[in-house]
């Protein structure tokens, strides 16, 4: 299952990503927002991140705002979430393969729709490589548990 949300700056891109996910048979839960009326992005970033964290790694999330920065900061405040702001499909692949990212952040103002769709596809198609990367992710998790 994929949880997806955006602020007012990302509605158009969120709708395109959600449409692509559903057309491919992926269950996509849209947590809003649905208009260009100004909203507070933390409300939407936290909503996605909390659901992903509660899934214990079974689900993924996508958060979108104008730059992608605010949403990525919010998502990364939730214990158990590793959110990556990506600008190309290689980053989408590597954040999963090396960092076991479970939330993807996109910037609607700096990523065109076709590129964003490619990033999402790479993110969802890539498995965590484990191995030496697992030890690094474990260090992040342990730090989070001690200080989070």
| Alpha carbons 93 and 123: distance in angstroms, whole number | 5
65 catalytic residue (yes or no): yes
Closest by alpha carbon to 75, among 108, 107, 53? Answer: 53
Of 65, 74, 83, 86, which one is the catalytic site residue? 65
Buried/exposed 16-35: b ≥16 CB within 10 Å, e otherwise: bbbebbeeeeeebbbbebee
Q: Percent helix, strand and coil across the chain, each rounded to 5?
A: 50, 15, 35
Q: Which of 6, 83, 86, 98 is catalytic?
A: 98
Q: Is 8 a catalytic residue?
A: no
The residues annotated with a catalytic role in the active site are: 65, 98
């Amino acid at each position: 299952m994929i949880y997806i949300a955006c602020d007012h700056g990302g509605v158009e891109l969120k709708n395109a990503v959600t449409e692509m996910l559903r057309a491919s048979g992926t269950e996509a839960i849209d947590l809003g927002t649905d208009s260009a009326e100004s909203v507070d992005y933390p409300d939407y970033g936290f909503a996605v991140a909390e659901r992903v964290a509660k899934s214990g790694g079974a689900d993924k999330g996508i958060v979108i705002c104008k730059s992608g920065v605010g949403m990525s900061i919010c998502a990364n405040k939730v214990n158990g979430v590793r959110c990556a702001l990506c600008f190309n499909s290689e980053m989408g692949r590597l954040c999963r393969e090396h960092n076991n990212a479970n939330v993807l952040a996109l910037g609607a103002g700096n990523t065109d729709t076709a590129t964003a769709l490619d990033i999402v596809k790479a993110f969802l198609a890539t498995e965590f490589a484990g191995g030496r990367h697992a030890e690094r992710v474990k260090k992040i998790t342990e730090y989070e548990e001690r200080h989070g």
